[in-house]
């Protein structure tokens, strides 16, 4: 740096000459000029127009503005019920912007807006709405306390970041059995040098952007993970989780419920494993639950089960990834002919990691009422800023 250049004077016994001093100063000035030009370039500073810089209005120690866009193009039939009646189309799957920051007193925050409907359905009139909004007390690594609109602590795939999934869409079983964001209180922590981790949430259970609780009860969920191996070569992580809920007219589709609305009690469980090495990644998860609908439709009590397994090969590390996933979802294990099965073949071109990438998925599946296999091509361009 420029300060080091100032010190680059002869260290001989004799005092430096005037010429040597002038040469050192000239080198320092040149270095400062180069650094100044580089900073102006990074800030977009034009000589006649100084840049407009966002500054926090409060006493925060860190403030960041960011977001991401996921532009989609889709073609083909319906590999699972989520695409029934959906035509070939262009659309934005997600368009989000957020502000996050931290205070010196061990508090951080995030407020994120979703400018699209965040749905696979053919919707119209999408409005901006709150997505991930929270406040967190971070004083103790073993016990971070968070309040806000949070994902319940249930399901490894459900909890994975929307920008880092291997495939464009999560599995059908995950969408039917895991819950979305809720107003909740959360507790998070790690132990044993990060090898053990846990999360627990207590939520309204009414869904995102709903400030009312559907009844006088709350929805508890908990997740535990153990990483027995983690080094430069890769890692192995094992996880278990559970969720219980007493619901009143909560939206739950794909389970044979009257009007896709569930009133009653449900007990959910899950287990998962993820093995990552430099060339290959493996992931597998099973989710299950027992539903007890108040109106006994489709049964007084029934079990639903979903599982998936995937393998991803980093053909060109950091650039090109090939992946294959098999998934199944059975909405009622006591009934035959209602299982949904899907194969998904994916290609990811990482132009700049997850910040700028292109994804291509070919889904081939079948389910109840389908005339045959339904194939669909999904494409995504993702930009994280």
Q: Which of 26-40, 61-75, 105-119, 178-192 has the lowest mean pLDDT?
A: 26-40
Residue 207 half-sphere exposure toward CB, CA atoms < 13 A: 12
Whether residue 3 is predicted with pLDDT greater than 60 in this model: the reply is no
Please report which confidence band the pLDDT of residue 41 belongs to, taking 50, 70 and 90 as the band edges.
confident
**Looking at per-residue confidence, does 6 or 109 come out higher?**
109
pLDDT above 70: percentage of residues in the chain: 91
Do the beta carbons of residue 362 and residue 377 sit within 8 Å? yes
Whether residue 48 is predicted with pLDDT greater than 80 in this model: the reply is no
**Looking at per-residue confidence, does 29 or 310 come out higher?**
310
CB burial string 276-290: b at 16+ within 10 A, e below: beeeebebbbbbbbe
Alpha helix positions (H), the chain: 2-6, 18-43, 156-159, 172-177
Please report which confidence band the pLDDT of residue 380 belongs to, taking 50, 70 and 90 as the band edges.
very high
The distance from CA 240 to its chain's CA centroid, rounded to whole angstroms, is 19
Mean pLDDT of 93-107: 93
Q: How far apart are CA 67 and CA 62, in angstroms?
A: 17
Whether residue 285 is predicted with pLDDT greater than 60 in this model: the reply is yes
Residue 65 half-sphere exposure toward CB, CA atoms < 13 A: 4
Q: Please name the fold of domain 64-384.
A: Porin (2.40.160)
Do the beta carbons of residue 202 and residue 171 sit within 8 Å? no
Q: What is the reported pLDDT for 17?
A: 87
DSSP assignment of 43-111, as one string?
Answer: HT-BTTBPPP----SS--SEEEEEEEEEEEEEEE--SSGGGTT--SEEEEEEEEEEEEEEETTTEEEEE
Do the beta carbons of residue 262 and residue 255 sit within 8 Å? yes
Q: Facing residues of 89 across strands?
A: 74
* Annotated domain spans of the chain: 2-43, 64-384
Q: What is the reported pLDDT for 26?
A: 86
Mean pLDDT of all residues in the chain?
Answer: 90
Instruction: State how far the alpha carbon of 143 is from the alpha carbons of 104, 140, 161, 186, 198, in Å.
Output: 17, 5, 21, 10, 9
- pLDDT tens across 210-242, in order? 888 989 999 999 999 999 999 999 999 999 999
Whether residue 9 is predicted with pLDDT greater than 50 in this model: the reply is no
């Amino acid at each position: 740096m420029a300060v080091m250049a100032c010190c680059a004077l002869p260290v001989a016994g004799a005092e430096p000459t005037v010429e040597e001093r002038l040469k050192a100063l000239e080198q320092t000035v040149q270095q400062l000029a180069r650094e100044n030009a580089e900073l102006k370039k990074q800030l977009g500073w034009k000589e006649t127009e100084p840049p407009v810089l966002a500054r926090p209005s409060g006493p925060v120690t860190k403030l960041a503005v960011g977001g991401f866009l996921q532009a989609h193009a889709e073609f083909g039939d319906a590999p699972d019920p989520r695409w029934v009646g959906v035509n070939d189309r262009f659309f934005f799957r997600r368009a989000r912007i957020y502000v996050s920051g931290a205070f010196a007193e061990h508090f951080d925050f995030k407020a994120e807006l979703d400018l699209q409907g965040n749905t696979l359905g053919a919707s119209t009139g999408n409005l901006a709405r709150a997505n991930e909004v929270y406040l967190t007390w971070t004083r103790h690594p073993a016990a971070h306390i968070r309040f806000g609109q949070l994902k319940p602590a249930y399901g490894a795939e459900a909890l994975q970041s929307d920008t880092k999934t291997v495939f464009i869409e999560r599995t059908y079983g995950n969408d039917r059995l895991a819950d979305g964001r809720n107003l909740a209180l959360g507790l998070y922590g790690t132990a044993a040098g990060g090898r053990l981790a846990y999360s627990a949430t207590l939520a309204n259970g009414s869904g995102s952007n709903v400030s009312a609780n559907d009844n006088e009860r709350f929805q508890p969920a908990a997740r535990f993970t153990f990483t027995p191996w983690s080094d430069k070569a890769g890692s192995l992580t094992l996880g278990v989780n559970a969720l219980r809920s007493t619901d009143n007219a909560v939206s739950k589709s794909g389970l044979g419920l009257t009007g896709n609305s569930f009133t009653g009690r449900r007990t959910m469980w899950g287990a998962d494993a993820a093995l990552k090495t430099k060339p290959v990644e493996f992931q597998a998860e099973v989710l299950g639950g027992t539903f007890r609908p108040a109106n006994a439709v489709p049964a007084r009590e029934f079990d639903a089960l979903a599982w998936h397994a995937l393998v991803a090969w980093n053909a060109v590390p950091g650039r090109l990834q090939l992946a294959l996933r098999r998934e199944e979802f059975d909405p009622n294990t006591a009934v035959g002919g209602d299982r949904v099965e899907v194969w998904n073949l994916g290609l990811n071109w990482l132009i700049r990691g997850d910040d700028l990438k292109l994804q291509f998925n070919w889904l081939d599946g079948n389910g109840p009422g389908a005339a045959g296999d339904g194939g669909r091509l999904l494409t995504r361009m993702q930009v994280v800023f």
